Amino acid sequence: MKVIVPIKRVVDFNVKVRVKADGSGVDLANVKMAMNPFDEIAVEEAVRQKEAGVVTEVVAVSCGVAACQETLRTAMALGADRGILVDTDVELQPLAVAKLLKAVVAKEAPQLVILGKQAIDDDANQTGQMLAALLGWPQATFASKVVVDTAAGQVTVTREVDGGLETLELKLPAVVTTDLRLNEPRYATLPNIMKAKKKPLETLTPETLGVDATPRLATVKVVEPPKRAAGIRVADVAQLVDKLRNEAKVIA
């Protein structure tokens, strides 16, 4: 069984993100980039399924600029068998990524697509759902446990929902998005980092896939969250209650 793991190159989670001076977006110049942590969990899950003998091939796919190759190499160092870069300088929005992935899925015919539930840069939480809809496949989002039964052609997914856990059975092929507690990604081993360099990495483009990746949404303005204002000292309980009721409007 083949699994596709879409991964996104994002600003490293350790980096303090800055907004560009002109408010047109986040400053990415000379910023350390890394694989989206939720996608790392997806790679880890696919590799564990392969190590367990359930999956035969893990293909990492990334859409974006040429530098995404580094992120694909990281995925291959963690255990993905090969990588596909959909190379484009266009600003990619979730729907465009979902369409590109749909085209890659058509080409690769996997039984399962596992991807992060969202990326830590825009936190959109849309790509997995859109991809499932475009493919007409069943989806299970926010997975905290994934059990694949290839013989029965189904996957059982436990997902984290408000107030507890929900368990779903999906017919394969399916789309699964990963939550934080699904697994703890490994550290890549040195021999695997070196081997990753020699694993196949194919480059496609939106044009060769026949997908129009043009953005549908325009970014109007990006601003820093407002700085927290200094607190004030209240004179007595009556004033506190008054402020809670009339200024903060948190009590009636």
Partner 1 sequence: MSTYTAPLQDMRFVLTELAAIDRVAKLPGYEEATDDLVEAILDEAGKFAGGVLAPLNFSGDQEGARWVDRAVTMPKGFKEAYRQFVDNGWAGLSLNPEHGGQGLPKVVAAAVQEMWKASNMAFSLCPMLTMGAVEALELVGSEAQKATYLANMISGEWTGTMNLTEPQAGSDLAAVRTRAVPHGDGTYRVFGQKIFITYGDHDMAENTIHLVLARTPDAPEGVKGISLFVVPKFLVNADGSPGERNDAWCVSIEHKLGIHASPTAVMAFGDNGGAIGTLVGKENEGLKYMFIMMNAARYAVGLEGLAIAERAYQKAVAYARDRVQGRAIEGSTGSVAIIRHPDVRRMLMQMRAQVEAMRAVAYAVAAATDMAMRHPDPAERARQQAFVDLMIPVVKGWLTETGNEVASLGVQVHGGMGFIEETGAAQFFRDARITTIYEGTTGIQANDLIGRKIAREGGATLKAVLAMMRQTESELAAQAGLASIRSALGQGIAALEAAGGFIVADYAKDVRSVAAGAVPFLKLMGIVSGGWMMARAALAAQAKIAAGDADAFYPAKIATAQFYAAHVLNTATGLAQEVVQGGASALALDEAMF
Chain residues binding partner 1 by CB under 8 A are 14, 29-30, 32, 70, 73-74, 77, 187-194, 196-197
| Complex with partner 1: residue 158 or 183, whichever CB lies closer | 183
| Complex with partner 1: residue 164 or 191, whichever CB lies closer | 191
Compute the least distance from the CB of residue 106 to partner 1, in Å: 30
| Complex with partner 1: residue 75 or 209, whichever CB lies closer | 75
Compute the least distance from the CB of residue 62 to partner 1, in Å: 15
CA 178/CA 48 separation, integer angstroms = 14
Q: For residue 45, which of 192, 180, 194, 201 has the smallest C-alpha distance? A: 180
Compute the least distance from the CB of residue 74 to partner 1, in Å: 7
CA 200/CA 26 separation, integer angstroms = 32
| Complex with partner 1: residue 71 or 127, whichever CB lies closer | 71
By the 8 A CB rule, do 202 and 107 touch? no
| Complex with partner 1: residue 189 or 208, whichever CB lies closer | 189
Compute the least distance from the CB of residue 126 to partner 1, in Å: 29
Question: Identity (one letter) of the amino acid at 35?
Answer: M
Q: What sign has the CA pseudo-torsion 2, 39, 76, 185? A: negative
The order of strands in the sheet holding 2-6 is 164-171, 154-161, 139-149, 174-178, 112-116, 2-6, 57-64, 82-87, 201-204
Distances (CA, A) of 79 to 50, 57, 73, 192: 9, 10, 10, 8
Compute the least distance from the CB of residue 27 to partner 1, in Å: 10
CA 120/CA 198 separation, integer angstroms = 29
92 burial (CB, 10 Å; 0-12 / 13-18 / 19+) is buried
Compute the least distance from the CB of residue 71 to partner 1, in Å: 11
| Complex with partner 1: residue 17 or 193, whichever CB lies closer | 193
Three-state DSSP class for residue 184: coil
